[in-house]
């Protein structure tokens, strides 16, 4: 009895047999026309590349504003000293 297998019964899917409404017919035809028009336009080369969105500058203030440094970093200061020494030597 354990070895016996019952034949599997297939469940039939219920087919939607609702009467087609005008909306569904219109949408399917609009999709079909749109895809056909798109294919024709792409073959003809009518399609335009999408324009890039314009870059906008942010107007909000950053949380930490940069400080106005009056002193130069060490490497810039030494470079200026060397340049000044070379100018005065020549």
Q: What number is the average pLDDT over the span 47-51?
A: 68
- The three-class DSSP label of residue 4 is coil
pLDDT higher at 67 or 20 = 67
Q: What is the pTM assigned to this prediction?
A: 0.29
* Predicted pLDDT of residue 61: 78
Question: Are 80 and 72 contacting, i.e. CB atoms less than 8 angstroms apart?
Answer: yes
Q: State the Cα–Cα distance between residues 17 and 1, nearest whole angstrom.
A: 42
Between the CA atoms of 34, 40, 42 and 44, what dihedral angle is there, to the nearest 10 degrees?
-150
* Predicted pLDDT of residue 33: 92
* Predicted pLDDT of residue 84: 93
Q: State the Cα–Cα distance between residues 61 and 46, nearest whole angstrom.
A: 44
Q: State the Cα–Cα distance between residues 3 and 5, nearest whole angstrom.
A: 6
Q: State the Cα–Cα distance between residues 9 and 18, nearest whole angstrom.
A: 26
- Condensed to tens digits (0 to 9), the pLDDT of residues 56-73 reads 887 887 788 777 767 778
């Amino acid at each position: 009895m354990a070895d016996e297998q019952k034949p599997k019964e297939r469940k039939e899917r219920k087919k939607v047999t609702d009467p087609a409404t005008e909306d569904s017919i219109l949408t399917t035809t609009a999709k079909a026309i749109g895809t056909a028009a798109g294919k024709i336009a792409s073959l003809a080369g009518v399609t335009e590349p999408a324009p890039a969105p314009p870059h906008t500058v942010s107007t909000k203030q950053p949380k930490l504003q940069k400080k106005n440094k009056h002193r130069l970093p060490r490497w810039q200061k030494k470079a200026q000293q060397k340049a000044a020494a070379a100018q005065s030597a020549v």
